Amino acid sequence: MVHSRGLLTLAVTLLTAGPAALADETTTINPSANFGTWEGWGTSLAWWAKAFGTQTALADVFFTRNTVTVNGHALPGLGLNVIRYNAGASSTNKDPDGATMVVSPSIKASRQIDTFWLDWTSTDPNSTSWSWTVDANQRNMMSLAIARGANLVELFSNSPVWWMCYNLNPSGSTDGSSDNLESWNWDQHAVYLANVAQYAATHWGVKFTSVEAFNEPSATYWVGPTGTQEGCHFDVSTMSNVIPFLRSELNSRGLTSTIVSASDEETYDLAVSTFGSLTSTALADIARVNVHGYQYGGGRRDTLYSNVSGKGKKLWNSEYGEGDATGASLVSNLMLDFVWLHPTAWVYWQVLDVAGWGLITADNDAKTIGAPSQKYFVLAQFTRHIRPGMRIIDGGSSYTVSAYDATAKKLVIVAVNTAAAQIINFDLSRFTTPGVNGALVQRWATQIGTSGTQYTAFNDTFISGTKFWSNFGQNVIMTFEVSGVVI
Ligand SMILES: *[C@@H]1O[C@H](CO)[C@@H](O)[C@H](O)[C@H]1NC(C)=O
Ligand SMILES: *[C@@H]1O[C@H](CO)[C@@H](O)[C@H](O)[C@H]1NC(C)=O
Ligand SMILES: *[C@@H]1O[C@H](CO)[C@@H](O)[C@H](O)[C@H]1NC(C)=O
């Protein structure tokens, strides 16, 4: 998927920083590009935080860059600063008509998130229609994350509260392809999210950056009777009705600087389609487009970027996940995102999850934690080095990502080699000052696969004139930090 190269000689594989004449590949970093200021890396909370939200070591490993021991493994903290808090849709109380939530037989309790709004009797968050003691674990992990530096916090919904749904089932409508939010509850869904945002500001010290009312809303797989999680289909026309209510309910509570994001579609192509179909009123209320990365190697990332940036809005990849524990899929799709989508934040779905999906394997039902995968270390190659405030520039190839820290005059390069082992040259000749000749370039390496090097640091690479180079084994990802660089 990334780049392909021919075979190389044995002599080259034995070099660590050999003469440039033997180089196989060169990428020229282009500092004149500006794909925006990086906002951060993150994770959604929801299920894993409901299961493990009291464990401070997990907050340390995900939300700091310290070395943290988890289940006997000393890990480099990921330093995530974006969290997505899931406003739940589930409760066990009766509604004023005596009805109770309809529960899909396939949903695990660990995937039901408690709602704060128990019934429609009152919109007043101080009334007994509201319970602010529920969802303690997810709220606790949110607080732990913020205390460690998470500064971008999104409130998101997977489904409206069950009693706002036609079939009272927060896993989706009965056919999956029709709206489940009752039309007379469009504003109530907005009231729910706005009240949570306001209560969080006044009682939890949490200022949500953004609020998102939908999750993969154009999908037709949110089928209540067979659902395995909270989910809800929304027609685009319904999105266009709900978004202005959300903007207005936030405003009326004084939350004018809390932005509305939408629509968290599953794929880049659905995001393009939804973005092009929302009413101009709804579009004007959206400050950021969130898209999920489940189209993997497919889809028109470039069209979405051009549409969204053309309207002056931000763009996040707000949810990505897959079951490839090697990190190969993650790095391939992240490279595509950096080259074509240009998000300013990137959010992994569940950092703790079943083997493959989790960066660290975990069982939310048995409440057990296993080992980190190579994918954990592959992601660390990005998250620990491309930091909030850096300018994303052009790495010059499909296998290179680059960011620049103007304050520290530091250049960060993350590159992957999927071909046979080879030297890759990094040409810095387009910088005004390409570092100091002979100066150290720190590097870190991780083997993509089922085992091997895990975020190992080396001080063996040096600037030579206007370039440096490194010998990459096959399926190795490396990060470089170059000091004294001026654009
Ligand atoms: C809820 O009660 C608090 C404290 O008594 C008060 O400050 C707040 O305004 C009330 N909220 C509403 C929506 O009435
Ligand atoms: C999105 O971009 C495509 C390709 O550039 C363009 O044809 C289309 O009109 C754009 N749509 C919107 C809503 O900006
Ligand atoms: C590399 O050098 C830097 C700067 O002197 C130092 O902080 C770091 O610990 C060194 N790393 C290794 C792996 O030796």
Check residue 16 and give its pLDDT: 42
Looking at the structure, do residues 162 and 274 belong to the same domain, yes or no? yes
Cα–Cα nearest to 318, from 111, 45, 110, 49? 45
Check residue 2 and give its pLDDT: 29
Residue nearest to atom 12 of ligand 2 (CA): 307
The verdict on the CB of residue 174 being under 6 Å from ligand 2 is: no
The verdict on the CB of residue 307 being under 6 Å from ligand 2 is: yes
Could you give the CA distance from residue 484 to residue 64 in angstroms, rounded to a whole number?
A: 26
Ligand 3 pocket mutation pick from 442, 455, 483 by most atoms within 8 angstroms of CB:
442
Long-range contacts, 436-440 (Cβ 8 Å, 24+): 436/463, 436/483, 436/484, 437/463, 437/464, 437/465, 438/462, 438/463, 438/464, 439/463, 439/482, 439/483, 439/484, 440/483
d(CA 307, ligand 2 centre) in Å? 5
The verdict on the CB of residue 442 being under 6 Å from ligand 3 is: yes
* Nearest ligand to the C-alpha atom of residue 439: 3
Query: Residue 251 maps to which CATH number?
Result: 3.20.20.80
CA 203 from centre of chain: 27
Contact of 153 with 146, CB cutoff 8 Å:
yes
Calculate the alpha carbon distances from 215 to 73, 174, 464 in Å. Answer: 34, 17, 49
Per-residue pLDDT of the chain in tens (487 residues, 90 and over written 9): 223 333 333 333 333 444 444 458 999 999 999 999 999 999 999 999 999 999 999 999 999 999 999 999 999 999 999 999 999 999 999 999 999 999 999 999 999 999 999 999 999 999 999 999 999 999 999 999 999 999 999 999 999 999 999 999 999 999 999 999 999 999 999 999 999 999 999 999 999 999 999 999 999 999 999 999 999 999 999 999 999 999 999 999 999 999 999 999 999 999 999 999 999 999 999 999 999 999 999 999 999 999 999 999 999 999 999 999 999 999 999 999 999 999 999 999 999 999 999 999 999 999 999 999 999 999 999 999 999 999 999 999 999 999 999 999 999 999 999 999 999 999 999 999 999 999 999 999 999 999 999 999 999 999 999 999 999 999 999 999 999 999 9
Q: What is the pTM of this model?
A: 0.94
Check residue 261 and give its pLDDT: 99
Check residue 19 and give its pLDDT: 45
In a domain, 317, yes or no: yes
Looking at the structure, do residues 58 and 29 belong to the same domain, yes or no? no
Check residue 23 and give its pLDDT: 52
Check residue 3 and give its pLDDT: 30
Query: Residue 25 maps to which CATH number?
Result: 2.60.40.1180
* Total domain count, the chain: 2
H helices present in 253-352, as ranges: 268-277, 280-285, 301-310, 328-336
Could you give the CA distance from residue 474 to residue 6 in angstroms, rounded to a whole number?
A: 12
Residue nearest to atom 1 of ligand 2 (CA): 307
* Single residue among 365, 385, 405 that ends a domain in this structure: 385
In a domain, 158, yes or no: yes
CA 345 from centre of chain: 7
In a domain, 281, yes or no: yes
Scan for tokens 């309910």, then name that residue: 249
List, by residue number, the catalytic residues.
216, 319
Domain span including residue 142:
40-385
Q: Which two tokens stand for residue 432?
A: 């005004």
Which ligand 3 atom sits nearest the alpha carbon of residue 458? 13
Residue 377 one-letter amino acid: F
